[in-house]
């Protein structure tokens, strides 16, 4: 199965760009999680540099993707400029990476053809750390200018459309057709905590047992999720396996 690593830029004490009452880190994370859900719905394996509002070093983001052996790396960001009239979408790849450039072109053209943008600023290359340090084809999408009113409106109110466009671009890289109707996902959740360290401890315990546990902050709780499946019986099989080990498991349908 294809493996995609999604990198929501910034996080924690690093809010990224600010503008129009928005924080870049929040938009990046929200869109990344939505993209991930769509990809999982298309039987793509997904891993993230972060699934909550935490700070992760650039080198660590790349290291995680390399350890995961991802087929591609996609980083999501929002642009900013002193002049609020600057606007539009642009996508970067690493200089000299032809597959990175191919991925960047597919992402850019998918966003443009979906209409979730103001100006097509095209694809570019840049020596960004996450593009340089990742071993696989990588692209970084600047989804819009948080400092521009029109773009900020897209970044705030059209995150689902942006996520679909980005997911379509990723899927097209692998030749996987996008299916509109797959929306139900069965998530295996092992716990929900108000204190993040409790969730992290449980996730680490599960990881040490070989489970792909992630912590997602949602609705005021840190939730430990061990898997997300299109097929309910697959989620039930994992839930039963975890229950047999004494874990408190629920299946969340989204």
Is residue 9 near Zn ion by the rule CB under 5 A? yes
Interface size with Zn ion, residues (CB under 5 A): 3
Task: Give the nearest distance from C-beta 140 to Zn ion in angstroms.
Answer: 9
Q: Which is nearer to Zn ion, 9 or 19 (CB)?
A: 9
Q: Measured between alpha carbons, how far is residue 108 from residues 17, 64, 82, 124, 245 in Å?
A: 21, 25, 24, 10, 45
Exactly one of 142, 150, 236, 241 is catalytic; name it.
142
The two three-digit tokens of residue 101, written as one number: 């450039």
Task: Give the nearest distance from C-beta 92 to Zn ion in angstroms.
Answer: 11
Q: Which is nearer to Zn ion, 71 or 142 (CB)?
A: 142
Task: Give the nearest distance from C-beta 216 to Zn ion in angstroms.
Answer: 21
Task: Give the nearest distance from C-beta 204 to Zn ion in angstroms.
Answer: 28
Kindly give the pairing relationship between strand 138-145 and strand 89-93.
Answer: antiparallel
Q: Read off φ and ψ for residue 67, nearest 5 degrees.
A: -60, -35
- Residue with the closest Cβ to Zn ion? 77
Is residue 16 near Zn ion by the rule CB under 5 A? yes
The Cα 149–Cα 118 span in angstroms is 11
User: Do the beta carbons of residue 147 and residue 17 sit within 8 Å?
Assistant: yes
User: Do the beta carbons of residue 251 and residue 239 sit within 8 Å?
Assistant: yes
The two three-digit tokens of residue 32, written as one number: 């990344």
The Cα 37–Cα 70 span in angstroms is 17
Residues in region 63-82 near Zn ion by CB under 5 A: 77
The Cα 60–Cα 134 span in angstroms is 10
User: Do the beta carbons of residue 125 and residue 98 sit within 8 Å?
Assistant: no
- The CB density around residue 18, as the number of other CB atoms within 10 Å, is 14
Q: Which is nearer to Zn ion, 9 or 191 (CB)?
A: 9
Task: Give the nearest distance from C-beta 10 to Zn ion in angstroms.
Answer: 6
Is residue 142 annotated as part of the catalytic site, yes or no?
A: yes
x/- track of binding to Zn ion for residues 21-60 (CB under 5 A):
----------------------------------------
Q: Which is nearer to Zn ion, 24 or 71 (CB)?
A: 24
The two three-digit tokens of residue 185, written as one number: 């996902």
Instruction: Specify the stretch interacting with Zn ion by CB under 5 A; choose among 3-11, 33-41, 121-129, 176-184.
Output: 3-11
Catalytic residues: 142
Contact residues for Zn ion, defined by CB under 5 A: 9, 16, 77
């Amino acid at each position: 199965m294809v493996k995609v690593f999604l990198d929501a830029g910034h996080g924690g004490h690093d809010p990224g760009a600010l503008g129009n009452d928005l924080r870049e880190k929040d938009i990046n994370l929200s869109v990344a999680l939505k993209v991930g859900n769509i990809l999982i719905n298309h039987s793509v394996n997904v891993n993230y540099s972060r699934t909550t509002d935490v700070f992760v070093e650039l080198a660590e983001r790349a290291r995680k993707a390399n350890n995961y052996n991802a087929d591609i790396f996609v980083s999501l960001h929002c642009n900013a400029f002193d002049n609020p009239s600057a606007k539009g979408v642009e996508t970067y790849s690493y200089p000299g990476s032809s597959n990175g450039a191919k991925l960047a072109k597919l992402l850019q053209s998918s966003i443009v053809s979906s209409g979730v943008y103001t100006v097509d600023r095209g694809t570019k290359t840049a020596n960004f750390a996450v593009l340089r340090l990742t071993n696989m084809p990588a692209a970084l999408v600047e989804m819009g200018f948080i400092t521009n009113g029109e773009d900020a409106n897209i970044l705030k109110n059209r995150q689902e459309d942006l996520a679909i466009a980005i997911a379509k671009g990723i899927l097209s890289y692998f030749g996987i057709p996008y299916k509109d109707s797959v929306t139900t996902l069965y998530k295996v959740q092992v716990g929900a905590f108000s204190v993040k360290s409790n969730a992290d401890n449980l996730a680490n315990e599960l990881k040490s047992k070989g489970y792909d546990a992630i912590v997602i902050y949602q609705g005021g709780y840190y939730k430990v999720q061990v898997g997300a499946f299109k097929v309910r019986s697959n989620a039930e099989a994992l839930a039963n396996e975890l229950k047999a080990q004494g874990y408190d498991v629920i299946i969340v349908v989204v």
